[in-house]
Chain A
Amino acid sequence: MMDFSLSILMASVVSGAAPLVFATLGETFSERVGIINLSLDGTILLSAMVSFAVAYETGNLAWGFLAGGVVGALIAALIAFTSLFWGISQVAVGFVLTLMCKDLAYFLGNPYTRIQGPQLSHLSVPFLEKIPVIGNIFFQHNIMVYLSYACIMVTWFYFYRTQWGLKLRCIGENPRAAYTRGFSVKKIQFGYATLGGFLVGIAGALYSLSVKPGWGRPQGAEGMGWIALAIVIFGGWDPLKVAFGAYFFGFLQIMGIVFQSWWPSIPAQVFQVAPFPLMIFMLVLIHLSRGQRMSQFLEAHPVFRPIIRFLQVNPPASLGVTYHKE
């Protein structure tokens, strides 16, 4: 019995974290190439609204997802364009867009508030779903959840096993060297930032069409963009760790509900904000793991080396700094 409920729990973690996986991988693409897309919170809401509206009007979920992705891509393109070609601060534009897209979503989405719309249906994977436990957890979801698994693998493979991925990482680390090598740095940065935005838009669509179906004020996906941004740092800009982070926070969210039913005396608000102090704590740990004292500690206690190495991450060197050729 315990085993059964645990697998249901894990299954809801997997499906609930799917949008976060898309959003964080999108942001990883963008940040790995040196562009901070701070607008995630607004982007997710606006694309959630647009995709719900489109899916409702056309009755076709695929159009909804496409529209959500395009909205995300457009917003990311705006940030990348203004920073790369006009030299405006990425953080400034991103922050303004965060607030504006959120308001825009509420404004334009007003006619679609609280109406029944199409929803993504379940689609179990034949054969694989029969595997005990694992089948229950991973293979009884909708198609986008399976795509999120694929997205993790493909992103990792792309980053570390292809020429293009090498190029991408190179530009994020040292745009000047990449430029000298003959890459058209700004175009590539623009391209990956837009691609990242597309994935973030898909995440938004996934919220309004599957995880928190429908549109309203509030929709329920508020704050997720900020969590996604934190997860990318938490995961050290590495696709696998980032995906792990997304599932970990999905787990925390579900556990918040579970814990609350176990200890009703602790208010729900405590569990809802739990990810944020954890994120700050994690960031501090990451910082400390790079310090002088830590290396002395490791000399004395080599047992801890693997854990610390897991924490030792370096942000892409050119993150947030636009490269202008002389």
Chain B
Amino acid sequence: MTHELKKRLFTVALRWFITISIVIIFTTLLLLLTDTPPLEAYFLLIKGSLGSWNKIARVLQVWIPLTLCSCGLLYTFSMRLWNIGIEGQVMLGAIGATAMLKWLSPYFAPSLCLTAAFVFAIFLGTLWSLFAGILKTEGGVNEIFAGLGLNFVAQGLILWLIFGPWKRPGIASMSGTEPFDYSLWLPTLHGFRISPLALAITIILFIATVIIHRYTRWGLFFRAVGNNPNAGTLFGLSPQRYTLLAMSLAGVMAGCAGYFQVTGIYHRLIPSISSNYGYLSLLVVMLANYKWMPIPFIAFFFACLNVGSIQLPLMLKIDSSLSGVIQGICVLAFLCAYRWKLRSKG
């Protein structure tokens, strides 16, 4: 038994060693290609993300939506569904939160508004994911294309709202809608821009996801139907119903992420409110090998890269998209290392 465990640990360690070496080699080559001192770039990435408590708070700001979306994607991935539409679901969550805060704030207490906004954000996120789900089950549209189409529609909707009905008095601009009153911001820790409430809810939802996955019938059914829809049908599990259930759970998570983007970070609706976190969380889940355990860590690592790369253009005159390149290489290298290991086993 211990021998087995050792062997498994060794396999995992080897896989990660291969992945990390490939990532470092390729990134270094890329940096050398653009005449950037690699060590300095790495140092800046680390200093920019973990250099101070303030920086770490900003990393956590990114970690929250990434973890939430990744949790949502766990449901859909266990059904073998590619929920690319999660990006749009985050946007709809943000729209829902903004709408409630805008409509209710003149009449009700801030805490009530924030609660209503939370509910409505989740509602709209779920609605958007159900659109994609129903298109899949009733319309026979592949969820990738349905989700993608809905993402673009959501983006159009946000731009329309910002330049149309919700435009700032006087000038409509890409900087977004009128910022909310301070009383409508989620309370933050003194001196930091991180809201403990958002952090707590994220952790609770993560734990809930793990429990649903491991210890409830839903989690089992998702996997069963995902692995073999025909067998699922024979056992009386409707693939359509579970597709919609998985999609709506993903929508809940995404809507929640959109809510925190609005109430915790930007305090208004901006065109790039979802900041590509939905797409990025697809990479997180892939790198986690569709398992729940590594998700918080990988999300944290990706968040570090995102935050750390912000100052690269200023300090080294290179584009901040380096973080995206590193993230992409990570996942590709991992996929290859994983498969290579499987293959060498035969």
Q: A-side interface residues toward B, CB under 8 Å?
A: 38, 82, 86-88, 91-93, 95-97, 99-104, 106-110, 217, 223, 226, 229-230, 233, 267, 269-270, 272-273, 276-277, 279-280, 283-284, 286-288
**Chain B window 184-225, contacts with chain A (Cβ cutoff 8 Å), 1 for yes, 0 for no:** 000000000000000000000000000000000000000000
Decide if B328 touches A273 in the complex (CB within 8 Å): no
List, in ascending order, chain A residues with CB within 8 A of B340's CB: 86
A90-B14 Cα distance, complex, nearest whole Å? 24
Q: In the assembled complex, how far is the CB of residue A230 from the closest CB belonging to chain B, in whole angstroms? A: 6
Interface size on B, residues (CB 8 A): 49
List, in ascending order, chain B residues with CB within 8 A of A87's CB: 339, 342-343
Q: Say what secondary structure dominates the interface of chain A.
A: helix
**Chain B window 23-52, contacts with chain A (Cβ cutoff 8 Å), 1 for yes, 0 for no:** 000000010011000000000000000000
Whether, in the assembled complex, B318 has its beta carbon less than 8 Å from a beta carbon of chain A, the answer is yes
List, in ascending order, chain A residues with CB within 8 A of B181's CB: none
Of the residues A86, A107, A279, contact of B336 by C-beta under 8 Å: A86
Of the residues A93, A217, A283, contact of B332 by C-beta under 8 Å: A93
Of the residues B33, B156, B324, contact of A102 by C-beta under 8 Å: B324
A102-B283 Cα distance, complex, nearest whole Å? 14
Of the residues A92, A217, A229, contact of B286 by C-beta under 8 Å: A92
A38-B145 Cα distance, complex, nearest whole Å? 11
Whether, in the assembled complex, B10 has its beta carbon less than 8 Å from a beta carbon of chain A, the answer is no
Decide if B329 touches A100 in the complex (CB within 8 Å): yes
Which chain B residues (222-238) contact chain A, with CB distance < 8 Å? none
Given contacts A96-B331, A96-B335, A276-B153, contact A86 B343 (CB under 8 A): yes
Given contacts A107-B321, A108-B34, contact A96 B283 (CB under 8 A): yes
Q: Say what secondary structure dominates the interface of chain B.
A: helix
Decide if A267 touches B328 in the complex (CB within 8 Å): no
List, in ascending order, chain B residues with CB within 8 A of A110's CB: 34, 317-319
Question: Which residue of chain B is the closest to A104 with respect to CB atoms?
Answer: B325
Whether, in the assembled complex, B322 has its beta carbon less than 8 Å from a beta carbon of chain A, the answer is yes
Whether, in the assembled complex, B294 has its beta carbon less than 8 Å from a beta carbon of chain A, the answer is no
Question: Which residue of chain B is the closest to A82 with respect to CB atoms?
Answer: B336
Of the residues B30, B141, B322, B325, contact of A280 by C-beta under 8 Å: B141
List, in ascending order, chain A residues with CB within 8 A of B152's CB: 223, 226, 273, 276
Decide if B140 touches A283 in the complex (CB within 8 Å): yes
Decide if B135 touches A97 in the complex (CB within 8 Å): no
Decide if A277 touches B149 in the complex (CB within 8 Å): yes
List, in ascending order, chain A residues with CB within 8 A of B130's CB: none
Which chain B residues (332-346) contact chain A, with CB distance < 8 Å? 332, 335-336, 339-340, 342-343
A-B contact pairs, 26 of them (CB 8 A): A86-B340, A87-B339, A88-B339, A95-B282, A97-B332, A99-B279, A100-B325, A103-B321, A103-B322, A107-B319, A110-B34, A226-B152, A267-B160, A269-B157, A269-B159, A276-B148, A276-B153, A277-B149, A279-B149, A280-B146, A283-B142, A283-B145, A284-B140, A284-B141, A287-B140, A288-B139
Whether, in the assembled complex, B144 has its beta carbon less than 8 Å from a beta carbon of chain A, the answer is yes
Decide if A272 touches B156 in the complex (CB within 8 Å): yes
Which chain B residues (275-320) contact chain A, with CB distance < 8 Å? 279-280, 282-283, 286, 317-319
A325-B172 Cα distance, complex, nearest whole Å? 60
Given contacts A99-B283, A277-B149, contact A93 B335 (CB under 8 A): yes
List, in ascending order, chain B residues with CB within 8 A of A233's CB: 145
Whether, in the assembled complex, B180 has its beta carbon less than 8 Å from a beta carbon of chain A, the answer is no
A287-B137 Cα distance, complex, nearest whole Å? 11
A101-B329 Cα distance, complex, nearest whole Å? 10
Decide if A270 touches B156 in the complex (CB within 8 Å): yes
Decide if A283 touches B163 in the complex (CB within 8 Å): no
A107-B325 Cα distance, complex, nearest whole Å? 8
Q: In the assembled complex, how far is the CB of residue B271 from the closest CB belonging to chain A, in whole angstroms? A: 10
A92-B159 Cα distance, complex, nearest whole Å? 30
A151-B336 Cα distance, complex, nearest whole Å? 35
